[in-house]
Structure 1
C-alpha cells in the first residue's frame, strides 16, 4: 500500500509541545460539533483559533444575541428551509457588531429552537441599540440579548469550546470527510491503525492488558529517546468500519484508556477503500 493510499488523523509527535509564536491577531479556525445543552441537542459552531489569544484583556465582556427560530426541526435544530434567513441574520449582526464595537465573534449555539450568537466586547455602550437596529430588517423574528462581565473568557473556554473528548470526535470527523472526498463510501471495514505514546513501559503493558480481549494486534512497540515525556510507542491495528459512529466508539475507548494511564493517544490512520 503506497503512502498516498492512506489518510491520517494523527499528529507529529516530535513537534508536540511547541509553543506558537505570539500573534497580534488570531487566525480564525471555525468548526462545529454536537453536544447536550440543558438536556437538549445542541449544535455549536466555534472559532477554535481564538484560544491562541484568549482572554483578550481589553474585551472583558460577553454579549449574546438570541434569535427565536420560526420553523425549527423537531429536535430543536435549524431546518433546511429556514437556514438561509438565519444565515442572513447572523451575517448582518456579526458585520454590524464587529464594525461598530470592535467586538470578537467567537461562536454560536443552535438548540431548543433558538440560535444564540456570542461576542466579546470592550465597553458595551449602546450594544443593545446596534442589535435592535439590525433586527428591524427581520420583523418576523423575536430576539433577545444580554451581557455580563467575563474577564477570563470562561463562557468561551467552559461552554463554547469543545471538551477534549469532543475535540477528538471533531478530529475523527475531519479524517472521515477526507476519506469521502477521495471517493470512499465508508461501507467497507478495513484495517485501522492507532498510535499511543506512554511515559513508562509498565503503562504500555497495562494498556495492552486492558485491550487484550478487544481484537487489536500489535504492529510495533518502540522506544523513541527524542520524546522525553512519552518515549514508549505503541502501534496497534484492527479491522473496523470508519463511519462517524463506529470511529467515535473505538477511538474514544482507546483515548480514554490512554488518558487513564497518562498516555497520549496520537490518532488513527486507514486506507481509502472505493466500491
Structure 2
C-alpha cells in the first residue's frame, strides 16, 4: 500500500459504481511475490437505491475496512482497492498464499456477524484486476485531476462560481498534429494563446489554448472534455488546465 489513493465514479456492468484505488501501487505492479488476487465481497446493509453506499452506513463501512486492512495486510498481502456497486463493496488484495485466505478473512470479519460476505482467490500474476479494472483509464484519471485542481482553488478561497479564462496545455508529436488540433478547437470558442512551441529536449510541440468558463466542481469535466478528446483524437497528450483564483 502507498499513500497515493483516490476515488472516481464509473459504470460497472451497467450500474453506478464508486472505485477507490491505490494509484501509487502502479509503480511496483505486478509484484511477483504476490501472484494471486484475493477478494472479499461485503453485502451492504443500507445501500442507496442506486446500489452505492449510503451516509447512514458510511461510518460502519469505514470501521470494517480499517479492521480488514489491519488484520490482513502484511508483507504477504497488499490491499489495492475497492469497488462499491449493486449493493456490495468488493475489497481487492494481492496475496502470496491463497490457501489461507478464507480462514484469514473469516477471522477478520468475526466482529461483524451481522454482515454477509463472500471471498475467493484466483491466479493473477500480471495483476490484471488491478491494472485493467481498478485503475482509472485516461479520462477517469483526468477527472480525478480535475477535482484536485478545483479543491486547490477552494482551499485558496475560490467559490468556483466566477467565469474566468481557463488555460489548457496539450503536447503533440509533430506540427501537423498540432495544427489539426488547433483547427478542431477553434470553432468551439478557444483562443490560441501562443504560437505552437517546439521542445527540442522532448521533441514535442506544445499548444496552449484558453476559453472563458466556470471551473465548478460539477461542471469542470464538461469544460475539459472537448479539449481532452480533441487532443487524443490527434495523437497528443493533454497536460491539464489552470486558471486564476477568484476570491
1:147-158 matches, within 5 Å, as 147-158=121-132
5+ long unaligned stretches in structure 1: 1-25
User: CA separation of 1:117/1:255 partners in 2, compared to 1, >3 Å: closer, same or farther?
Assistant: same
Task: Tell me what 1:60 maps to.
Answer: 35
In the superposition, the TM-score normalised over structure 2's length comes to: 0.95
In 2, Cα distance between equivalents of 1:172 and 1:245: 10
Correspondence 1:122-271 to 2 at 5 A: 122-230=96-204, 232-271=205-244
Cα-to-partner distance string for 1:85-111 (whole Å, 9 max, x where unaligned) = 111111111111114x72000000111
- 1:29 alignment counterpart: 4
Q: How far did residue 252 of structure 1 move?
A: 2.0
Q: How does 1:48-87 map to 2 (within 5 A)?
A: 48-87=23-62
For structure 2, the residue ranges without an aligned partner over 5 or more in a row are: none
Preserved CA contact (<8 Å) 1:28 1:50: no
Deviations along 1:224-255, one digit per CA (max 9) or x if unpaired, are: 3434331x221111100111342212312211
For 1:189-247, what per-residue CA distance to the aligned partner results, in whole angstroms no more than 9, with x for missing partners? 111011112222222221111112111111111423434331x2211111001113422
Relative to 1, partners in 2 of residues 1:225 and 1:141: Cα closer, same or farther, differing over 3 Å? closer
Distance 2:3 2:196 in 1: 37
Distance in structure 1 (CA, Å) of the matches to 2:197 and 2:53: 50
Give the Cα separation in 1 of the matches to 2:199 and 2:27: 29
Count the aligned residue pairs.
247
1:273, 1:74 → 2: CA distance?
A: 38
Distance 2:3 2:125 in 1: 21
TM-score of the two chains, using structure 1 as the length reference? 0.86
User: 1:244 & 1:199 partners in 2: Cα distance?
Assistant: 32
Between the aligned partners of 1:253 and 1:177, the Cα distance in structure 2 is 22
Runs of 4+ in 1 over 3 A off after TM superposition: none
Give the structure, 1 or 2, with the largest relative contact order (CA under 8 Å, sep 6 or more).
1
**Corresponding residue SS for 1:77:** coil
Deviation at 1:30, TM superposition (A): 0.5
Do structure 1's residue 42 and structure 2's residue 20 form an aligned pair? no
Cα distance in 1 for residues equivalent to 2:58 and 2:199: 52
Tell me what 1:6 maps to: none
Q: Tell me how far 1:81 sits from its aligned partner.
A: 1.6
> Residues 225 and 66 from structure 1, CA distance in 2 versus in 1: closer, same or farther, beyond 3 angstroms?
closer
Contact 1:217 1:238 in 2 (8 A): yes
1:94 aligns with 69
Correspondence 1:110 to 2:84: yes
Q: Is the CA contact (8 Å cut-off) linking 1:168 and 1:252 kept in structure 2?
A: no
